[in-house]
Chain A
Amino acid sequence: MTDKERLLQYCLRQGDTHIIFGYRLGEWCSKAHILEEDIALTNIALDHMGLGNAWLERAASVDSEKRSPDDLAYRRNEREYYNLLLAEQPNGNYANTIARQFLFDVYSVLYYSELLNSADDTLAGIAGKGLKEVRYHYKHSAQWVVRLGDGTVESHKKIQEAIDDMWRFTEELFEMDETDDIIAKSGVGVDVSGLKEAWKTQVSEVLEKATLSLPDHNLSRTGSKTGVHTEHLGHILAEMQYLPRAYPDAQW
């Protein structure tokens, strides 16, 4: 793999993750429990789309096939998508969504705090903008974890189940393959394996405040680094890519 191919791969992983989070959060539109929350979720969706777009622009800039960010988002198939499995998990009830976002948001704040020092100016720029946004996302999701955990018996049960459920996909956040390793060592990317302890500490603190407990199972699913996903991604892409795929010559 050349340096450029490696950077492309790295950018796709981050970009795809944001695009798919944006997709999932966008699905909440007109379905939240109160109109104010509808706006909050859309705002977060928009941040993810913006970040995804920025990462895909960087990816496009090193792509030997000269694909545009839209080409990258709309014309790659399931096995060429590299988003975290966590991102593609269905919205479920509001607790499922909040659990999914929370586990990612804690990670995301740590990740972008590190990426600020990237040797790649564009990536450092993305981190500067992204960090402000994901800090807010974290605030939003962490507060909801606490509200639901320390709310009613029903909400406590739902958010605990959701955390337990999403936990399977968190090991992958800290996984490093050869590409990640080389990119991290060159000072461009982040060694995410080093974020795990801090992540677990912060997650535990919030869960404790929410009167929730850490999951006690060791189930774990990974695969996104090689484009092996859960069954959900295919459905997302089928819907998301339908127009550009059905009318390949059209401009949108």
Chain B
Amino acid sequence: MEHTQGKLWEVFIQSKNNLPYKHAGSIHATDKEMAIQNARDLYTRRGEGRGIWVVPSDCIVASNPEDEESLFDPGVDKIYRHPTFYHMPDGAENI
């Protein structure tokens, strides 16, 4: 089998100024310029973008689904991290 389709890149698009870059999908390309252009042609044909990041897929480090509970459950019960945890005296404003 030939391996000439180029490597896989993940594409992140910023749709508007000041919004976070969001994963849009992936494309194939052999170099960075081509990756940006291919991402532009595939993911922003309807004016969906104002910024593009492309990252070689093999540079993405992902968490292991098996670790889901140990990674994320400990964050669930730390309710003191949310402002609603705190009692404010009646009548206090703008806080």
Chain A residues with CB under 8 Å of chain B are: 34, 36-37, 39-40, 43, 139-140, 143, 147
Which 9 pairs between the two chains have the least Cβ-Cβ distance? A36-B38, A39-B41, A40-B41, A43-B41, A143-B33, A36-B27, A39-B42, A36-B28, A34-B5
A39 CA to B28 CA in the complex, in Å?
Answer: 12
A43 CA to B41 CA in the complex, in Å?
Answer: 7
B5 near A43 with CB under 8 A, answer no
B42 near A36 with CB under 8 A, answer yes
Main secondary structure of the interface of A (DSSP, over half): helix
A143 near B41 with CB under 8 A, answer no
A140 near B37 with CB under 8 A, answer yes
A76 CA to B19 CA in the complex, in Å?
Answer: 50
- Is the CB of B6 closer than 8 A to any CB of chain A? yes
B5 near A40 with CB under 8 A, answer no
- Please, which residue of chain A has its CB at the minimum distance from the CB of B5? A34
**A-chain residues with CB within 8 Å of residue B6 when the two chains form the complex:** 34
A139 CA to B29 CA in the complex, in Å?
Answer: 16
B37 near A139 with CB under 8 A, answer yes
**A-chain residues with CB within 8 Å of residue B41 when the two chains form the complex:** 36, 39-40, 43
